[in-house]
Structure 1
Amino acid sequence: MIKIGVLNVRGAMPYYEELPFNVRISEPGMIRDLDLLILPPGTLVESQVLQRYGWIEKEVWEYVERGGFVVGVCSGAQLLSRAVNLNVKGLPGYSRGLGILDIVFEPLIVTGPVRVRVIDETWATRNLVGTELIGWQAHTYGRMNILSDDVKVVGVSRIPRYNYRNEEINAPTLVVSRKYRVFGTMVHGILGLGSPIMRNILHEIGINNEAEIKNYYESYRENEWVSRGEEGPGVTRIITVASTMTGEGKTLITSALAYCLNRAGYYVGVAKLAGDIRDLHPSLYILNKPFKPWMSIRLRWGSRSLGWVNWRKVISGIRNLGLDVLVVEGVMGLLTGSSRRYRRGFSSTLDFIRYVNTDVVLIASANLDGVEGALLRLGSYIDLLIKYGKKPILAILNNAYDGPHENRMLKNFGRRIGRLGVSFAALESLPMSSKPEELIDLEDYKEAAIKISNTLCSTIINALGKSR
C-alpha cells in the first residue's frame, strides 16, 4: 500500500484540517519508506522541532534528495523555509528552518477566509491556472520573501484583512521548489477530499482512483466533529470566558476548560468571538479536533464586522452536532465595544452574553495591578453582570501570588462572592513564554492547561451543576 505520512511531533496539528495520510511520523526511521510526506499545520517552528528531534532534519533532507514528495501546510511550509522571523514587534528574531525552500518568512498576521488564485503550471497545479480556491489563513508570520529562482510562486491570495487592518492585499501563498518535489501552502482548507491540487499530488505518487483517495482521509474522519443525532442533549450549554481587560489569560482558561470538560466525558466544542481564530489553536490541539467556520462568531457594528459566522447559524450548527458544552472565548475585555450600536447583532462580549443568554466565567489577572487591583476589577464586573441578570458561574483570579495580606484578601473575596452564589478560583502564575498573538508553542499551552485543570476541573463541573 502507498504510504502517506504526516509528521506528528510536538506542535503538530495533523487534524486541524482535512489531509490525507495513513502513517503518523513520530519516530526516527519512518520517513524513508514514505511515498509522500506531509508537514502539517501547528507550531513546528515555534516548538523548535528541529532542535528537539535531531532526526527530522537529517531524514527529511535525505528523503527530498532521493526525490521524495513533500507537502508543507502553514507551519509545515515555514519549517521547509530557510528561517522564520518570530518577532512581531519589530526586532528580528529568526528561527531557522530546513532550508529546502529558499524563503524567509516575516511577520504578517492573517486570521480569516481568503481566495487564492493559481497563477502558474506545475506538477501540483496541473490544469489549474486561473482557478480560484477558497480557504483560510491563520498565521502570525505569513509574509514570504522569496530569495532565489529555486522557488516558484504558483498561487496568490487576495487577503481582505491583515495585521488587524481592514485593508486588502495580494500575497504569494502557494509555492513549489524548482529543485525538489516540494509544495508549500499558507492557505488552509484547500487540500481536502475533492481538492484539485491534492488530486494532482496524489497522481504523482500513483493514486488515481477516487475510492482509493477517499481511504487516505479516513484518519481525519476519525477525529471529525460528528453529529450524535438523537443521543444529543437537545440544548447545548454555552459558557463565555470573559475578562475585565485584554491579556488576562482567556485563551489559557478556555483551553483548560476544554480539557476538563472533555476529560469528564462532555462533548465539548470551542469558539471565539470575532475573527482571531489563532486563540482557538491551543484548545483544538488539546481536543485533537479540526477547525470549523462556526468557531468564529461574528461581531458587528454598523456596516463593519469581525468574525465569520452569524451567531444564529453557530447555535443551530452546534445543536445539530449534539454538543454538551460550547466554550466561547470573548474578545478583549468584557466591555470592549459595548458602546457601539448593535441593532442588527452585537459588538462586545457583554452584548453576546446578554443576547445569547450564556453562562459566564470571568477572569482578572494580578500581573497587571496586583491582587488588590485585580480583585477590585473582578468584584466590580461581577456586580455589573449580576445587574444584567448574568451572574458568573465562576470567577478566576489569574496570576495570583502568595503573601499573608494577599491570602487574607483572597479568602475574604471568595467568601463574599460565595454568598452571591459565585464559585471562586485563584491560579498561580505559570512559567509560560507562549502567547497566541505573538509566539506560541502549543505543547507549552497544553501542559499549562493541564496544570491549572487540577484547580479548575472540579470547580467548573460543580458550578455547571449548580447553575442548571
Structure 2
Amino acid sequence: MTRIGVLNVRGAMPHYEQLPFNVYVDKPGIIRKLDALILPPGTLVESQVLTRYDWIKREVWDFAENGGVIIGVCSGAQLLSRAVNLNVKGLPGYAEGLGILDITFEPLIVTGPVKVRITNETWITRDLLNTELHGWQAHTYGKANVETSNTWVVGVSLVSRYNYRNAKIEIPTLMVSRRYRVFGTMVHGLLGSGSPLTRNLFHEIGITDKGEIKNYYRVINTNGWKRKRDAHVNPRIITITSTMTGEGKTLITSALAYCLSRTGHYVGVAKLGGDIRDLHPGLYILGKPFKPWMSIRMRWGSRALGWFDWQRTLGKAVEIGLDTLLVEGVMGLLTGSSRRPKRGFSSTLDFIRQVNTDVVLIASAHYDGVEGALLRLRTNIDLLNKISKGPGVVVLNNAYHGIHEDRALRQFKTAINKLGISLFVVDSLMISSKPEELIDLEDYRDSAIKVSGNLCDAFINVLSK
C-alpha cells in the first residue's frame, strides 16, 4: 500500500483538519520509506523541531531531492521556508526553516474563512487555473515573501480582515517549488476528502481508486467529533471570562479541557469572536480537529466577528452529544458591552446573560498585584450576580505570596464562599508561550496540566450542583 506519512512530533497537530495519511512519522528512518510526506499545522517552527530532532532536516531534504512529494500546511509550510520572523512587536527574530521553499515569513495575523484563487497551474493545481477554493487561515506569521524564482506562487487568498482590523488584501498563500515536488499552503481545509487539490496529490503518487483514497482519511475520521450514543439532551455550557484581556483565559480553558476529558467528560471548546488561535491549545490537548461551529459570532456594529450564531454552535454540540462545552470569552468581561446590536450580542457579559451559561471568572495579579486583582474580581462578581448567573469558580492567576497578600486572599475566599463561589489560586508559572504570539503547544500543554489538578476537583464539585 502507498505510504503517506504525517510528521507527529512536538507541536504538530495532525488531527487539526482533514489530512490524508496512514503513517505517523515520529522517529528517524520512516520518511525514506514513504511515497509522500505531510508537514501538518501546529507550532513546528516555534517548537524548534529542527533543533530538537536533528534527523528531520536531513531526512526531509533527502526525501525532496530523491523526488518525494511533500505537502506543508500552515506551520508545515513555514517549516519548509527559509525563515520565519517570530517577533510580532517589530524587531526581527528569525527562526530558521528547512529552506526547501525560497520564502521568508513575516508577521501578519489572519484568522477566519478565506477564498483562495488559483493563479498558476502546476502538478498540485492541475486543471484548477482561475478557480476558487474555500478554507480558513489561523496564523500570526502569514506574510509570505518569495525570495527567488525557484518558488512559484500558485494561489492567493482574498482576505477581508487582518491584524485585527477590517480591510481587504490579497496575499500569496499557495506556493510550490520549481525544483522539487513540494507544495506549501497557509490555508487550512484544502486537503480534505473530495478536494481537487487532494485529487491532484493522489494522482501525483499514482492513486486513482476512490475506495482506496478513503483509507487515507480513516485516522482523522476516527479521531473526529463523533456522536456519543448516550448523549445528553443539552451540554453544560461554561464561559471562561476575565476582568481584562491577557489574564489567562486560554490557559484555564485548556486546563479544564484536559482535566474534564481525563475524568470521562466529552468536552468541546469554542471561542467568542473570530480569533480561533485561542482554540489551538485545547484542540492540541484533546487531539481533535477544528470545526467552524467553534467560532461563535459576535455583532460589532455592521460587522460580525466569528462564524456561527450561538444557537447553531449549541445545536452542533447537542448533535455530537457533548457533555460540556467550554466557551472562551473575548478580551475582558465588559469589552464591547456598550454596543447594542439589534440582534445577537457584542460582549462576553451579554453572551453569558443571553445564554445563561455557567461562569469561570479570572483575574491576574500580574498587572496590579494581588490587591488590584481581588478588587477587580469583587466588582465583576457583583455585576454578574446582579444581571446574570454569578461565577461558580473564581481564579486568581499569576499569584504571589506574602503575609499581607495571603491575609487578603483568606478574607476574599471567606467572602465569596458565602456566595457559593469556589476560589482557585494559580501561582506564577514559568511559561513563555502566548496563543496570540509565540507559542510552543507542548510547553503550553504542560502548563495547563500543572494547573488542572486542584482546579479540576473544584470544578467537578461545581458541575455536580
TM over 0.5: yes
The equivalent of 2:280 in structure 1 is: 281
The equivalent of 2:165 in structure 1 is: 165
CA deviations 1:187-209 (Å, max 9, x no partner) are 00010000111111111111111
Q: Runs of 4+ in structure 1 displaced over 4 angstroms? A: none
The equivalent of 1:57 in structure 2 is: 57
Shift of 1:389: 3.3
Matched, 1:183 2:193: no
The equivalent of 1:337 in structure 2 is: 336
SS in 2 for 1:424: strand
| Greater Cα offset, 300-309 or 321-330 | 300-309
- Counterpart contact for 1:301–1:345, Cα < 8 Å: no
Shift of 1:374: 0.3
CA distance in 2, matches of 1:219, 1:454: 30
The equivalent of 1:433 in structure 2 is: 432
The equivalent of 1:153 in structure 2 is: 153
CA distance in 2, matches of 1:173, 1:122: 15
CA deviations 1:404-439 (Å, max 9, x no partner) are 111111111111100100011000011011111110
The equivalent of 1:396 in structure 2 is: 395
CA distance in 1, matches of 2:372, 2:366: 10
The equivalent of 1:86 in structure 2 is: 86
- Aligned CA RMSD, in angstroms, stands at 0.7
CA distance in 1, matches of 2:328, 2:312: 17
The equivalent of 1:448 in structure 2 is: 447
TM-score scaled by length of structure 2: 0.99
Matched, 1:416 2:424: no
The equivalent of 1:358 in structure 2 is: 357
SS in 2 for 1:160: strand
CA distance in 2, matches of 1:133, 1:100: 25
The equivalent of 2:76 in structure 1 is: 76
Shift of 1:380: 1.2
The equivalent of 2:314 in structure 1 is: 315
One-letter identity of the residue aligned with 1:37: L
CA distance in 2, matches of 1:267, 1:220: 18
- Counterpart contact for 2:352–2:388, Cα < 8 Å: no
CA deviations 1:97-144 (Å, max 9, x no partner) are 000000000011000000001111101111111110000000000000
Shift of 1:278: 0.2
The equivalent of 1:128 in structure 2 is: 128
Shift of 1:70: 0.2
Shift of 1:302: 3.0
% identical equivalent positions: 68
SS in 2 for 1:168: strand
Matched, 1:223 2:223: yes
CA distance in 1, matches of 2:409, 2:454: 15
The equivalent of 1:270 in structure 2 is: 269
- Counterpart contact for 1:159–1:168, Cα < 8 Å: yes
The equivalent of 1:348 in structure 2 is: 347
One-letter identity of the residue aligned with 1:212: E
The equivalent of 1:197 in structure 2 is: 197
* Structure 1: tracts of 5 or more residues without a match: none
CA distance in 1, matches of 2:315, 2:56: 43
Shift of 1:235: 1.3
CA distance in 2, matches of 1:121, 1:298: 36
One-letter identity of the residue aligned with 1:167: A
One-letter identity of the residue aligned with 2:28: P
- Counterpart contact for 1:175–1:183, Cα < 8 Å: yes
CA deviations 1:159-207 (Å, max 9, x no partner) are 1101111001000100100000100000000100001111111111111
Shift of 1:301: 3.1
* Count of aligned pairs: 465
SS in 2 for 1:396: strand
